[in-house]
Amino acid sequence: MEVHHHVNAVRRAVGTRTLEAGEARVVTLSRRYGTDVEDLWEACTDPQRLPRWFAPVSGDLALGGTYQVEGNASGTVLTCDPPRSFTATWEFGGAVSWIELSLAEDGDGTRLQLDHIALVVDDAMWPQYGPGAVGLGWDLALLGLAIHLETGAAVPPSFREDQWATTGAGRDYIRDAGEGWYAAQVAAGGGATSARRAADLTIAFYRGDPPPT
């Protein structure tokens, strides 16, 4: 696997948004895939394809429906405009955030953009781990999607079960993607010292290493 290719294929950004409930932080990932909009939409929303690169998802994946990601978050589909976009709540560990996915033609492929939005007052992970806390998780998901689309098959079980994070390629990917979130946080006005500490903690967490001292 060409780790640097996959790391550099993702655009990472950090921003803010004002919601009715208050100020929110937005973590954004964007990647181009060499397939059409309809195929990418199906890969992201079909319960038969989601386990091939992401995780089993149960429930009603339609407007107003509720869903459950196996071993992870649950939520409600708030908007749905096939095959272009959807928004949903992302409910995990007692906290509620939101995800927005949009697809658009990009040359002979399709660009996927994912925004993960969390209220500042509810984002307990940010002060310690920064944007990489959720960003690196989505990085790994988008990598799994790339593997699935390139091969037409499910990602290997070792990748889904996080064993890949202990391999040389996995550790390199997590390090380099984590550095991407460090750069995104600094570019958004975050202090370099706090962003460095957050990135180091996040990289260690995803690699399964002890926290840096």
Averaged pLDDT, 6-29: 97
Determine how many CB atoms are found less than 10 A away from the CB of residue 160. Answer: 17
Q: Per-residue pLDDT tens for 128-157?
A: 999 999 999 999 999 999 999 999 999 988
Query: Does 179 reside within a domain?
Result: yes
In this predicted structure, the answer to whether residue 46 has a pLDDT above a threshold of 70 is yes
Query: Does 88 reside within a domain?
Result: yes
Strands 109-119, 57-59: pairing is unpaired
Query: Does 71 reside within a domain?
Result: yes
161 pLDDT band, cuts 50/70/90, is low
E strand or H helix that includes residue 25: strand 22-33
Q: Per-residue pLDDT tens for 64-113?
A: 999 999 999 999 999 999 999 999 999 999 999 999 999 999 999 999 99
The predicted structure's pLDDT at residue 160? 72
Reference 143, options 176, 116, 117, 120; nearest CA is 176
Averaged pLDDT, 30-49: 98
Please give the full DSSP string across 49-73, using - where no structure is assigned.
THHHHS--EEE--STT-EEEETTS-
Q: CA-to-CA distance for 34 and 27, rounded, in angstroms?
A: 24
In this predicted structure, the answer to whether residue 12 has a pLDDT above a threshold of 70 is yes
Query: Does 212 reside within a domain?
Result: no
To 5 degrees, how large is the angle CA 98–CA 77–CA 202?
30
Mean pLDDT of the chain: 95
Q: Domain residues for 67?
A: 3-207
How many domains is the chain partitioned into structurally? 1
CB 54 within 8 A of CB 144: yes
Query: Does 93 reside within a domain?
Result: yes
The tokens for 9 are 């294929």
**Domain of residue 180, CATH code:** 3.30.530.20
Q: Per-residue pLDDT tens for 166-210?
A: 899 999 999 999 999 999 999 999 999 999 999 999 999 999 999
Determine how many CB atoms are found less than 10 A away from the CB of residue 69. Answer: 17
What's 7's DSSP letter?
H
Query: Does 83 reside within a domain?
Result: yes
Q: CA-to-CA distance for 85 and 49, rounded, in angstroms?
A: 17
Query: Does 213 reside within a domain?
Result: no
Query: Does 56 reside within a domain?
Result: yes
